[in-house]
Structure formats: structure tokens, C-alpha cells
Amino acid sequence: MDISSLIQKNDRKIIFIILDGIGGLPVNGKTELEAANKPNLDALARVSACGMHIPVAYGITPGSGPGHFGVFGYDPLKYEIGRGVLEALGLGIELQKTDVALRCNYATLKDDIIVDRRAGRIPTEKNIELTAKLSEQIKEIDDVKIILKPGKEHRFCLVMRFPKNITEKQAMVTDTDPQKEGKPPAQPIPLNEESREVSEIAKKFIERAREILKNEEKANYVLLRGFSALPHIPSFEEKYRLKACSIAVYPMYRGITRLLGMETLSVEGDIKEEVETLKKVYKDYDFVFVHIKKIDSFGEDGNFEGKVKKIEEFDNYLPEIVSLNPDTLVITGDHSTPSLLKAHSWHPVPLLINSPYVLGGLVNGFTERECFKGELGIIPATAIMPLVLANTLRLRKFGA
């Protein structure tokens, strides 16, 4: 159902927090949420509506883009946005209709085998140095302008700016990331005849980058991911009549919210800096989104204890967020990232909605097993925003 006709404006405030990759699986009998000492999060859960959400569909493992679009109420199966576009927007690149954007990794290649997909998570300073070197030596390939910009750690962005408009179909090229160490890099394969030109430019870029980086100890190769062209998508304000902003450290998540038309605040540092920014801007918006990244990073690294400690760190700052007295406070994740799997997974994601208009009292804490007992049940991610609007009294009655 399209709820746009039911939306009404008021002065109530929403804080929406994504603990990236929060869901987990048991190791020695406990998930990361169960192992964490998080008294503030557990106390909040006890007086909140809790449940689990399915990011895309049962059994489907989502990327970060689909995971976020789902919780923001955009059907990820309808709005399939390429990660390259999100990364470019997050880094502040003003994309044009002539562009193909890619989200890239520096990687370590040995004997034509990828031995580290993330080049040891090189320092961002080294990334900046290497990206500047590539930018200086690869300015254009076959009349296609090459635009490079460093991201965090091992990530950087590549934009191919063609002398003509590019459709989403023309950008349909496969990633070169093999997804696992111990395999050779894949080739950028065109998925249709129209995307062959983009594929050829990608191959030439990889060859030239490899030559330039060949003497680097770790970051001696590049992996290209998320080939994508600029799509059309309705803005968050158009959809919900909410003046919204986002607070995120990592470029991709700033890109997601910039694509949705949110005012996107660039924040350095981590949870402390994000919470301080939230406190400064909270009163100026109807909806403030805060993205906490490193929980997911530890999950992907298989670092159970690191993920637990990051959850505990967030818990220490939660009282400062609660003290702002938002009318509706949402805490969830975009997907699950169990340390056991060292990857995103298909498992449902814990969800908490706190407002004066919830039943509450059904769970003892914020964990996967407790949230399964909550009043929200198991819902699709796209149902979260209608519930948030309802709890903020922003939806009129339907029908007579």
C-alpha cells in the first residue's frame, strides 16, 4: 500500500540508528549481542517494541545498499542501486548521466592469485598517496575521462566519464573481486552487448594500474566492484515529508543518503564524534539517521570479541542519545554479519522501536533470541518506516 496520502506533518522528532551488521550467530553458545555487556541497550529494549526484520527476502543475503534501502522503505528488489554510484556520491563526486561509477579495493596479488582482497586494510594515508599516483598517470582511456578519489583504508572510487550519456544497461559489467582469497582476480565481463565498451575500458584501467602499482608490497592490484550508472529514485522528503539528515563516517553510507536527498553530514572519527554531531543538529531536522560502521567490519573479519566490544562501546553512548528525548527512536541493522561466517548473511535482523505508543515489556534485552519474542514479530524491512511514522503520529486514519 502507498501510504503517501496518509502522511501528515508535525513537530515530532525521529532518531534512526543503524548498527551495521548487528545480527550474529552463536559462538560457544552466545551471539555477539548475547555476549556483550550492554545494560543501556537491554533496558531500552525492555520498554520498546522489538522484533526482527528481513532485509530483502527470506534466504537472501543483502549487500549494504539493499539493506539500507529496505529499512528506509524502498523495495530493494525495485530500486537496485549499484555500489559504485553510492560510493561516488558518498565521496562527494557530482555524478553525471555520462558516468559509470565503481567501488574499488586495493588488493595484494601474488603469482596471479589474490592473497588479500583488502591489501591488509592499508592506512587511509597510503590510499591517498596511491590514488594520487594513479590519478596522475591515468587521466584518460580511449576518450573516457578517468576520475579517482580515495576512500577509507583500502577503498577508492573510480568514475569513467564517457563523452555520451550512459544507461544503466550499458553499465552492466561483472565485478573483478573473486570474493575469496586464494583465487585469481575475475575479468570484467559485459552482461550484454551494450556494456562491452565499459568492460573494455575497465580491462585497460586494470592493466595500467597493475603496472603502476607493481612495486607496492601490499596494494599492488585493484579490484573493481559495483559497476553502475546514475538511477532515478524518489527522494526521502518526497516519500515521507520529513526533513532528514544523515551522520555517517564511511562514504558509501553518505552516498546512500545523498542519493535519497538527505542532507549528508561528513563526520570523521567514530561513535563519539557521531553522537556529538547528533547532539548539535538534532533539533534542526524531523529525521536524523546515524550509521555505526565498525560492528560490521569486525564481523567480516571474524573477530567475535572485537564486534562484542564495539557493541559495548555503542552502549556506553546510548544514554546521551536517549537524553535527547526523541519522540521515536529506532535501533536496528541493515543486515546480519555473524563473525562465525565472516560475511553478511541472510538471517533476520534485530529491531527496536521506542515511542510512547508501544506495548513493551515482552523482551528482557536486545538480542536475536529476545527480539524474536517481541510485539513486532518478523517483518519485512520495508515495513519499518510506516511503523516509525505511525509511532510519530505522522499517519492519518485510513478510510472513514
Q: Are residues 107 and 207 in the same domain?
A: yes
Looking at the structure, tell me whether residues 221 and 205 fall in a common domain: yes
Count of domains for the chain: 2
255: domain CATH number?
3.40.720.10
| pLDDT (average), residues 163-178 | 92
The reported pLDDT for the residue numbered 111 is: 93
Asked if residue 128 has pLDDT above 90, the reply is yes
Q: What is the mean pLDDT of residues 150-154?
A: 90
Residues 321-345 have a mean pLDDT of 97
Judgement on whether residues 89 and 65 belong to the same structural domain of the protein: no
Domain boundary among 201, 228, 255: 228
Say if 204 falls within a structural domain.
yes
Portion of the chain with pLDDT greater than 90, in percent: 83
Q: Are 210 and 253 in the same domain?
A: no
* Residues 65 and 92 reside in one and the same domain: no
Give the residue from 228, 262, 277 where a domain finishes. 228
Domain that holds residue 312: 9-78+233-391
Q: For the segment 63-90, what is each residue's pLDDT rounded down to a tens digit?
A: 888 899 999 999 998 887 778 888 888 7
Q: Are residues 202 and 237 in the same domain?
A: no
pLDDT tier for residue 38 given thresholds of 50, 70 and 90: very high
> Is 176 within a domain?
yes
pLDDT of residue 255: 81
The answer to the question of residue 398 being in a domain is no
For residues 143 and 31, membership in a common domain is answered with no
Residue 131 inside a domain? The answer is yes
pLDDT at 65: 85
Does 2 reside within a domain? no
Q: Would 126 be classed as within a structural domain? A: yes
pLDDT > 90? residue 10:
yes
Kindly state whether residues 384 and 242 are assigned to the same domain.
yes
3 belongs to a structural domain:
no
pLDDT confidence tier of residue 33, bands split at 50, 70 and 90 = very high
Average pLDDT of the segment spanning 291-313: 96
Q: Does residue 30 sit in the same domain as residue 90?
A: no
Determine the pLDDT at residue 398. Answer: 93
With cut-offs at 50, 70 and 90, classify the pLDDT of residue 35: very high
Q: What is the pTM of this model?
A: 0.76
Residues 22 and 161 grouped into a single domain? no
Does 133 reside within a domain? yes
Q: What is the pLDDT of residues 238-295, one digit of tens each?
A: 999 999 999 999 877 888 888 898 998 888 888 999 999 999 999 999 999 999 999 9
Q: What is the 3-state secondary structure (H, E, C) of the chain?
A: CCCHHHECCCCCCEEEEEECCEECCCECCECHHHHCCCHHHHHHHHCCEEEEEECCCCCCCCCHHHHHHHHCCCCCCCCCCCHHHHHHHHCCCCCCCCEEEEEEEEEEEECCEEEECCCCCCCHHHHHHHHHHHHHHCCEECCEEEEEEECCCCEEEEEEECCCCCCCHHHCECCCCCCCCCECCCCCCECCHHHHHHHHHHHHHHHHHHHHHCCCCCCCEEEEEEEECCCCCCCHHHHHCCCEEEEECCHHHHHHHHHCCCEEEECCCCHHHHHHHHHHHHHHCCEEEEEECHHHHHHHCCCHHHHHHHHHHHHHHHHHHHCCCCCEEEEECCCECCCCCCCCECCCEEEEEECCCCCCCCCCCCCHHHHCCCCCEEEEHHHHHHHHHHHCCCECCCCC
What pLDDT was estimated at residue 1?
73
Please, which pLDDT band fits residue 317 given cuts at 50, 70 and 90? very high
Same domain, 43 and 138: no
Q: How high does pLDDT run on average in the chain?
A: 94
Mark whether 258 and 374 lie in a shared domain.
yes
Domain end point (choices 228, 254, 279)? 228
